[in-house]
Amino acid sequence: MSTISELTNISQGKDEAVRNLLQKHLLKAEEEYQSALVEYKDDIEECKRRTEFGLFRLDLAKQQMSVAQEKKFEPNFEENTPEHSALMLSGAIARTKLAVEYSNCVVSESIRTNLIGVVTMFNDAVDMLRTSQPEMSQRTSEGGVLMLYLLERQIELDNRQSIVDLKNIPKFTNKESKKIKEAVDCICNLKETLLESPRPVSQRITKHLDAAIDNFYAAVQAYVDDEIQMIDKLTVTIRMQVDLSERLFRSSTSKEGNAEDAANDEHDQVAQRVNEFKTRIVKLQRLIQHRTDNDAIATKRLEAVLRFYEQSMVALRDCNLTEAERTTNGAILDLDFARQLLFEKGNAKYREL
């Protein structure tokens, strides 16, 4: 409780985004403290476990606070200038980094690559200022903010939690940038609807959304290159693709599919379960990282678990029960091996099922 009080006081002087995210850890630590008080009467071992996990939460908060900037230098640039746009992109990148770290979000490899691309756009925008290309610099910065907005929305959808800072939502007066921002909202709003669907969504639906995202990146590049007509074409195409996906989705929920649709749905169910399992494995790997001497070995074993699970699901879908059993056994053995590495003393070994 003394540590919670200390961190609460320290958080008061932090940036709003940092403060809000830090509060999540403090609330979780307080929940563990309250649970420990309840368990103290009946189960002292559970009380200790709860207390230790609460302290772990606080230690994590301390480590994350150490990477936050203690002081910020905010140059006084006028709005709608190239310098101000570059500063806005820099701040948005920093807030996104903090939000992802503090929320412990899982970030896919493709999103990670595009985030690096946004940082590259910021560096390019600064170089353009140095080489007297202010208009190109401003468009590059604004394009980076638009890309970051989509990536943040995608991270939110992947992790089912809010990370988008209100300061990061683009508020441009330029009609072309407004069109691109509206296209992002259309894409992500439909994605959210699909995620909330009680039944698996066919790949025939999602492929049009994927194509819309590809056209979004093309529209951002056209914006940077000041190709107005291309922006108009691409944003119209995005809206058509999103509309087609939505109509297909509404149609699929209002009538029974034929035999081919049933086969596609079965394939989609397998893909969805594999994706959910993969997310859990990735979260486990992030959780154990740098927290034990055997974390690297355990991480590799968890990767083997995921491969075996994917193979078993495919075999089960194809009614190959022998192969499904073999690969499932492999997943169980590797999962048990990883558990021994992390929680048991002595040498880990494969046990008989």
Asked whether the beta carbons of 303 and 309 are under 8 A apart, the reply is no
Identify the CA nearest to 139 among candidates 179, 98, 85, 178.
85
Has residue 314 been placed in a domain? yes
Question: Does 292 lie in the same domain as 336?
Answer: yes
> How many whole angstroms separate alpha carbon 61 and alpha carbon 65?
6
136-to-70, 120, 156, 215, 313 alpha-carbon distances in Å: 32, 14, 30, 21, 50
Question: Does 183 lie in the same domain as 157?
Answer: no
Question: Does 195 lie in the same domain as 133?
Answer: no
Residue-level pLDDT at 20: 65
Where do runs of H (alpha helix) occur along the chain?
2-11, 16-40, 44-66, 82-103, 109-130, 134-159, 175-195, 203-224, 228-254, 259-288, 295-317, 321-343
Residue-level pLDDT at 229: 93
pLDDT 10s digits, 313-351: 888 877 888 888 899 988 999 999 888 888 887 788 887
- Domain total of the chain: 4
Domain boundary among 198, 230, 255: 255
Question: Does 90 lie in the same domain as 28?
Answer: no
Has residue 349 been placed in a domain? no
pLDDT 10s digits, 7-36: 777 766 666 656 666 777 777 778 888 888
Q: Report the amino acid identity of residue 128.
A: M
Has residue 352 been placed in a domain? no
Residue 286 domain boundaries = 262-343
Has residue 353 been placed in a domain? no
Kindly state the DSSP code that residue 168 receives in the 8-state scheme: G
Q: Which two tokens stand for residue 87?
A: 């500063």
pLDDT under 50: residue ranges of the chain? 67-73, 256, 259-260
Question: Does 176 lie in the same domain as 250?
Answer: yes
Q: Report the amino acid identity of residue 282.
A: V
Tally of CA atoms within 13 A in the half-sphere of 226 that contains its CB: 6
Has residue 167 been placed in a domain? no
pTM score above 0.85: no
> How many whole angstroms separate alpha carbon 204 and alpha carbon 172?
34
Question: Does 293 lie in the same domain as 230?
Answer: no
